[in-house]
């Protein structure tokens, strides 16, 4: 599979090679935000009251990241722990005074069903967000929990805002985050603006999604966030590169990445020969900057960027847009979602299927 940047401005090619409609799904993020808010309101999540000991979000893959989003929006000032569990089992300490969100786009994810069932046995308050008429709905209804029906279409990773917004609404009702209807509508409008700028008909030289894809092509991206918000966005971009573009990526967050990943600046992938006929894939640092940085992290970020430049490591710098953490997170996630999809198409890869995951599930079910 060869990278061909000209493909990104060939409208017919983009349509023909995206039969699953991943570009359309990414462009529909604003609609997902509004649908998620309506689903949360109809389920009564905004009226949640009381203060649990901890909030635990169980899910896998594109559904699990909503727990990370919730924790990042709540930030360091959260009055209680917010934990995401990506497994069949809950930690031993989770009990009757804790609130468990079980999130699954399909409602049939086996790990999520296992953890949700365990939460019911332990007497936890359960809120399930999933497709209607699913096994997860049955678990929630039988336990007397709250069920939020969401009509997810396509791949779970393409429904991130549909799944995340109900948790944000619930957390706002509990006083864990500041997020009213005006904020959520503002996030939707911001996502609409990014979708317009990254639309397929917008040419590469002015399209930020296509530009980022071209920078990532033929590199090994090492994506760093400078805060909890941008750290989640870095993880999301790496996962989207994996699933959409079938492409390797490394993610990290400062200051931790300065204690391990930075050493790759002196490794074999950092050395580029621009005159070679086949230079191979070399390292690219993607630095995601956020307004809410610890002063020492700001110093580390600036020093890391200088070190990358000194060593001729390819560099991309992205800055989160907006005042509220949810706005800033959405701006970074949306750009990464578009870029990963365009990267797939530039290589001639259909971004929707995840054949290896399907095969793996089939093998373990035998």
Residue 47: per-residue pLDDT = 81
pLDDT-derived band at 365, boundaries 50, 70, 90: confident
Task: State phi, psi for 190 to the nearest 5 degrees.
Answer: -65, -40
Residues 6+ apart with CB under 8 A from 354: 155, 243
Residue 188: per-residue pLDDT = 98
CATH homologous superfamily, domain 5-20+197-346: Glucose-6-phosphate isomerase like protein; domain 1 (3.40.50.10490)
Residue 149: per-residue pLDDT = 97
125 token code pair: 């308050």
Q: What is the pLDDT of residues 225-269, one digit of tens each?
A: 999 999 999 999 999 999 999 999 999 999 999 999 999 999 999
- Between CA 85 and CA 77 the distance in angstroms is 21
The mean pLDDT of 70-93, rounded to a whole number, is: 96
Residue 121 pLDDT exceeds 90: yes
pLDDT-derived band at 46, boundaries 50, 70, 90: confident
Distance, CA of 83 to chain centre: 16
Q: What is the pLDDT of residues 310-325, one digit of tens each?
A: 999 999 999 999 999 9
Residue 276: per-residue pLDDT = 55
The mean pLDDT of 200-224, rounded to a whole number, is: 97
Class of domain 24-186: alpha beta
| Range name among 32-36, 98-102, 268-272, 357-361 with the lowest pLDDT average | 268-272
The mean pLDDT of 105-128, rounded to a whole number, is: 97
Residue 167 pLDDT exceeds 70: yes
Q: In the chain, which segments carry CATH 3.40.50.10490?
A: 5-20+197-346, 24-186
Residues 6+ apart with CB under 8 A from 17: 7, 345, 348, 349, 350
Distances (CA, A) of 271 to 36, 53, 67, 202, 257: 46, 50, 37, 34, 20
* H/E stretch holding 1: none
- Between CA 240 and CA 256 the distance in angstroms is 22
Mean pLDDT over the full length of the chain: 95
Q: What percent of the chain lies above the pLDDT cut of 90?
A: 93
| Range name among 178-182, 276-280, 328-332 with the lowest pLDDT average | 276-280
Under DSSP, the state recorded for 128 is E
Q: Which 3-state string (H, E, C) describes 314-346?
A: EEEEEECCCCCHHHHHHHHHHHHHHHHHHHHHH
Residue 273: per-residue pLDDT = 61
Residue 34 pLDDT exceeds 90: yes
pTM, full prediction: 0.95
Residue 58 pLDDT exceeds 70: yes
């Amino acid at each position: 599979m060869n990278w061909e940047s000209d493909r990104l401005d060939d409208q017919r090619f983009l349509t023909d090679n995206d039969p699953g409609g991943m570009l359309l799904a990414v462009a529909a993020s604003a609609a997902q935000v509004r649908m998620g808010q309506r689903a949360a309101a109809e389920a009564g999540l905004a009226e949640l009251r009381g203060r649990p000991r901890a909030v635990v979000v169980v899910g896998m893959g594109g559904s699990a990241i909503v727990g990370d989003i919730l924790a990042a929006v709540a930030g360091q000032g959260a009055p209680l722990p917010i934990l995401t569990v990506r497994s069949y089992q809950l930690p031993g300490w989770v009990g009757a005074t804790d609130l468990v969100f079980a999130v699954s786009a399909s409602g049939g994810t086996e790990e999520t069903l296992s953890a949700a069932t365990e939460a019911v046995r332990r007497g936890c308050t359960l809120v399930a967000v999933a497709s209607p008429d699913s096994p997860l709905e049955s678990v929630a209804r039988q336990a007397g929990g709250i069920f939020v029906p969401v009509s997810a279409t396509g791949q779970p990773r393409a429904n991130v805002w549909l799944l995340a917004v109900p948790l944000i609404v619930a957390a706002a009702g509990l006083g864990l985050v500041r997020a009213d209807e005006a904020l959520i509508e503002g996030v939707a409008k911001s996502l609409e603006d990014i979708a317009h700028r990254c639309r397929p008909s917008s040419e590469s030289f002015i399209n930020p999604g296509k530009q980022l894809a071209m920078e990532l092509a033929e590199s090994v991206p090492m994506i760093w966030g400078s805060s909890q918000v941008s750290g989640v966005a870095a993880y999301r971009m790496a996962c989207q590169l994996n699933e959409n573009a079938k492409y390797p990526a490394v993610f990290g967050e400062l200051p931790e990445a300065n204690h391990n990943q930075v050493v790759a600046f002196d490794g074999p992938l950092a050395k580029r020969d621009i005159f070679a006929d086949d230079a191979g894939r070399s390292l690219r640092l993607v630095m995601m900057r956020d307004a809410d940085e610890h002063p020492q992290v700001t110093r580390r970020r600036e020093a890391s960027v200088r070190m990358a430049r000194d060593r001729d490591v390819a560099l991309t710098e992205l800055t989160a847009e907006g005042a509220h953490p949810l706005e800033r997170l959405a701006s970074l996630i949306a750009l990464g979602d578009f870029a990963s999809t365009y990267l797939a198409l530039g290589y001639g890869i259909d971004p929707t299927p995840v054949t290896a995951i399907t095969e793996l599930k089939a093998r373990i079910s035998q």
